[in-house]
Structure 1
């Protein structure tokens, strides 16, 4: 279960990342193809980080099976850091998807 704070904070973080992207790059994508490419890149980065998390969990699982508390704690620490990085990637992915949605919305207004 996700806390109400997190449920509220994540959309705010996505919105902030979207605004940051627009300030660092262009306000909108140059084309649908560019949008798709950027979104694919963010998805691939998220998938890579999720794979790191999976491998770290496998190590933690192995440590648990061997009753190696110290090893499990170390792997849990690394897994927490990796999961945070995966959250960053997921936020960037969501922001780039919203950037495409905004681009499509502006074109409909013209």
Structure 2
């Protein structure tokens, strides 16, 4: 797990650098909150899709339609990857917020 976390931290930092180059620091804590909220909501939407596909998989298994299970598992895999990507953006936006804190926030 530690190795995965190290890779994820590196990926979050790389995503942060891309975001920073494109958008710069946040102009206020309110702006940072709004962008972070949007990313969290997008991650939640991907997680909801994953949950729905898990329900579909369970339904197929209850119906003894195991031949359809692999296709649904592939959808779950794709959902998980999208969710992980969205959460990586959440982490990157957090880094942007942390590193923007107090930099010309007009106070």
What's the TM-score once normalised by structure 2's chain length?
0.90
4+ runs of 1 displaced by more than 2 Å? Answer: none
Q: What is the aligned partner in structure 1 of residue 38 from structure 2?
A: 41
Flag the structure with more relative contact order, 1 or 2, with Cα contacts below 8 A and sequence separation at least 6.
2
> Over aligned residue pairs, what C-alpha RMSD do you find?
1.4
Q: Structure 2: give runs of 5+ residues left out of the alignment.
A: none
Q: What is the aligned partner in structure 1 of residue 3 from structure 2?
A: 5
Structure 2 CA distance for partners of 1:34 and 1:105, relative to 1, 3 Å: closer
The number of aligned residues is 104
Q: What is the aligned partner in structure 2 of residue 77 from structure 1?
A: 74
State how far apart, in whole Å, the 1-side matches of 2:102 and 2:11 are.
21
What's the TM-score once normalised by structure 1's chain length?
0.88
Q: What is the aligned partner in structure 1 of residue 57 from structure 2?
A: 60
Q: What is the aligned partner in structure 1 of residue 18 from structure 2?
A: 20
1:20-45 deviation line (CA, Å, top 9, x unaligned)? 1011212x101111100000000000
